Structure 1
Amino acid sequence: MTTTIVISEFMDEAAVALLRHKFQVRYVPELVDDRAALLAAVADAEGLIVRNRTQVDTELLKHAKRLRVVGRLGVGLDNIDMPACAAANVAVHPATGANARAVAEYVITATLVLLRGAFGASADVAAGKWPRNELSNGLEASERTMGIVGFGGIGRLVAQLAHGLGMRVIASDAAISADDERWQQRRVQRGELEDVLAQADVVTLHVPLTDGTRHLLDAARIASMKRGAILINTARGGVVDEHALAQALKSGALGGAALDVFEDEPLKAGSPLVGAPNLILTPHIAGLTAEANVRVSGLVAERVADALSLVAAN
């Protein structure tokens, strides 16, 4: 029987074409929005490639009796039931590292935009207004402190770029010991989460969503941040208490925030975030650039193809 790969979300066409040279590929990016069609499509599939919206859960695995490999076009795995995949002998291959540059550059861009506070005035200037005085108190990144929560590949790249702006960097990561050489190599001060929140002018989050990190930044921890600090979340929405963040922005306790991820995606009407000042909202695209999509798609295609070839050989 011909090996079939189902791709349920968008993927770089060149990577899809490479897979088609070896396998029967069903590439339907809209499958993620049609659960019944997705379950039918995976019935004969040995490979499945997804992004972050396709739920690879026990229901899907029950329909996908021949499934052996899941490729994840990204790094987060909270949409994939890892214990269920292990029990079903399904290997999971994320694109670890392939979109790190895109995310890190998003963090630095958001940092500069929010510190300067001048880039929302185009309409006023075009209309003949001249808010020069109001926009003359923006802040520089140099000499300020970047706080990184989660010091994996993305966090380390953020540190490198922040150093290039003349920023001091402090980071926390419970999984990396205090004597690990990576702290010194990256010229980063290691601290506990509380240290990062207390000292940083900008806090950026790079941790997975787990039971232990859900609402890691709750009302109390947000209140412990420096007054006027900036919060950036490109990790997972559930890591931040959105109600508490909105209140901190509205009260002026925080100077700004940039959120690329949300507890509910798409963001629902009536969200507490609506109307909060100095808030940048983007639709889960921090890791998506033209270049990153090529890297992520190519890496996942290679890993899925290798895994399925190994299955066939055995």
Structure 2
Amino acid sequence: MKVLITELIWEEGIRELESLGIDVDYDENLWRNRAECLSCLKDYHAIIVRNQTKVDQELINAGTKLKAVGRLGVGLDNIDVKAAQEKGIKVVYARNANATSVAEYVMAAILSVKRPIHLANQDIRKGNWDRKKYTGEELYRKTLGLIGLGEISHRVAKRAKAFGMNVVGYDPFMAEYDHIVSETGVHQLDSLQECLSISDFVSLHVPLTSDTKHLISYNEFEVMKPHAYLINTSRGGIIDETALSSALENQQMAGAFLDVLESEPISPTNNLLSYENVILTPHVAGLTRESQIRTSILVAHELGKLLYEDVQKVREK
């Protein structure tokens, strides 16, 4: 059995596969060469990707021996799951492996707004001692709005509540007995607009689908508080970036933390680069050493289980 890995994976994942007798070919930059990826895929029984490799109908058809696709993450918008299922190809992903890391990123973003100690440090090193400028605000009793109430939001809510924040949320698929509502105490709201209108911070945690594309657009920015911040660690397409630029220009909101964009890597001509109150990071909210070890091992283990029986058959022959 042979596995092709086209994007970054931690060594622990490769060792997990090799321990099962699976041959691994790894090139973290292969996703950049679509033609080569299509050409060589016919020799492999599984492929492991992140979010850059487009596992579409064309690629699936090229993998004539494919039995499984492994996704080093949780979003599946770069994988044609239906096409894979029609070919009998299993799709495995790193469910919840990076949830803690994303939750900590969200809290780091919130804290950096209210207590910008990194900026105070830089100012002191310029010879200043401006205590008034760096008088911050408490998180206590500020309101955090969570859009999408899955596992990541559950972990964000627990941390925010430890700071004494009010945590509200909107998710039409959640019921009052689901754990994030009944056990974490998130106050569930009836509409997206209500959640946006009362929140000091809004954090997005929904998958990118046809229903959620540009979920946050002109109408949504109009109801946000002028001092509110928007945090997106899910997918770039959920925010209409043209509408976001307009909202920033019209001071309809205080700023945004964007770990994901509609087009990645960011273009030098992207208008969002011109706003100092937009903090950009290169899709790293879920990337910590611990989460990547968990992600790599989990995907390798699940994929390995799917291929193990075939490996044993080969050995018996």
> How far apart, CA to CA, are the structure 1 residues paired with 2:284 and 2:86?
32
Per the TM alignment, residue 132 of structure 1 is displaced from its structure 2 partner at its CA by: 3.1
Residue 97 of structure 2 corresponds to which residue in structure 1?
A: 98
Aligned AA (1:17): R
SS at match of 2:85: helix
Q: Deviations over 1:243-281 (max 9, x none)?
A: 222232333321221100000000112112012132210
> How far apart, CA to CA, are the structure 2 residues paired with 1:277 and 1:114?
13
Aligned AA (1:276): Y
CA contact (8 A) 1:236 1:261 kept: yes
Extract structure 1 runs of 4+ deviating beyond 6 A.
Answer: none
> How far apart, CA to CA, are the structure 2 residues paired with 1:50 and 1:184?
36
Residue 217 of structure 2 corresponds to which residue in structure 1?
A: 218
Residue 37 of structure 1 corresponds to which residue in structure 2?
A: 36
Residue 27 of structure 2 corresponds to which residue in structure 1?
A: 28
CA contact (8 A) 1:243 1:273 kept: no
Q: Deviations over 1:102-142 (max 9, x none)?
A: 00000000011023345334443212133433222x22111
Aligned-residue Cα RMSD (Å) equals: 1.6
CA contact (8 A) 1:85 1:91 kept: yes
> How far apart, CA to CA, are the structure 2 residues paired with 1:170 and 1:126?
39
Residue 137 of structure 2 corresponds to which residue in structure 1?
A: 139
Residue 76 of structure 2 corresponds to which residue in structure 1?
A: 77
CA contact (8 A) 1:114 1:257 kept: no
Per the TM alignment, residue 86 of structure 1 is displaced from its structure 2 partner at its CA by: 1.0
Matched, 1:187 2:182: no
CA contact (8 A) 2:196 2:224 kept: yes
Matched, 1:237 2:240: no
> How far apart, CA to CA, are the structure 2 residues paired with 1:297 and 1:255?
37
> How far apart, CA to CA, are the structure 1 residues paired with 2:247 and 2:202?
14
Aligned AA (1:108): M
Matched, 1:9 2:1: no
Counterparts of 1:153-302 in structure 2, within 5 Å, are 153-180=151-178, 182-191=180-189, 192-302=191-301
> If the length of structure 2 is used for normalisation, what is the TM-score?
0.94
CA contact (8 A) 1:163 1:169 kept: yes
SS at match of 2:273: coil
Q: Deviations over 1:176-218 (max 9, x none)?
A: 1244454121111001212210111110000000111001000
Q: Deviations over 1:72-118 (max 9, x none)?
A: 00000000011111111111001010000000000000011023345
Aligned AA (1:97): N
Gaps of 5+ in 2: none
SS at match of 1:133: coil
> How far apart, CA to CA, are the structure 1 residues paired with 2:108 and 2:67?
39
SS at match of 2:118: coil
CA contact (8 A) 2:197 2:224 kept: yes
Number of paired residues? 311
> How far apart, CA to CA, are the structure 2 residues paired with 1:181 and 1:29?
38
CA contact (8 A) 1:259 1:280 kept: yes
> If the length of structure 1 is used for normalisation, what is the TM-score?
0.95
Residue 109 of structure 1 corresponds to which residue in structure 2?
A: 108
Deviates more, 1:247-256 or 1:29-38: 247-256
> How far apart, CA to CA, are the structure 1 residues paired with 2:178 and 2:288?
32
> How far apart, CA to CA, are the structure 2 residues paired with 1:16 and 1:227?
48
SS at match of 1:304: helix
> How far apart, CA to CA, are the structure 1 residues paired with 2:310 and 2:163?
48
CA contact (8 A) 2:176 2:182 kept: no
CA gap 1:117/1:304 in 2 versus in 1, 3 angstroms: same
CA gap 1:141/1:43 in 2 versus in 1, 3 angstroms: same
> How far apart, CA to CA, are the structure 1 residues paired with 2:249 and 2:125?
28
Residue 62 of structure 1 corresponds to which residue in structure 2?
A: 61
SS at match of 1:29: coil
SS at match of 1:6: strand
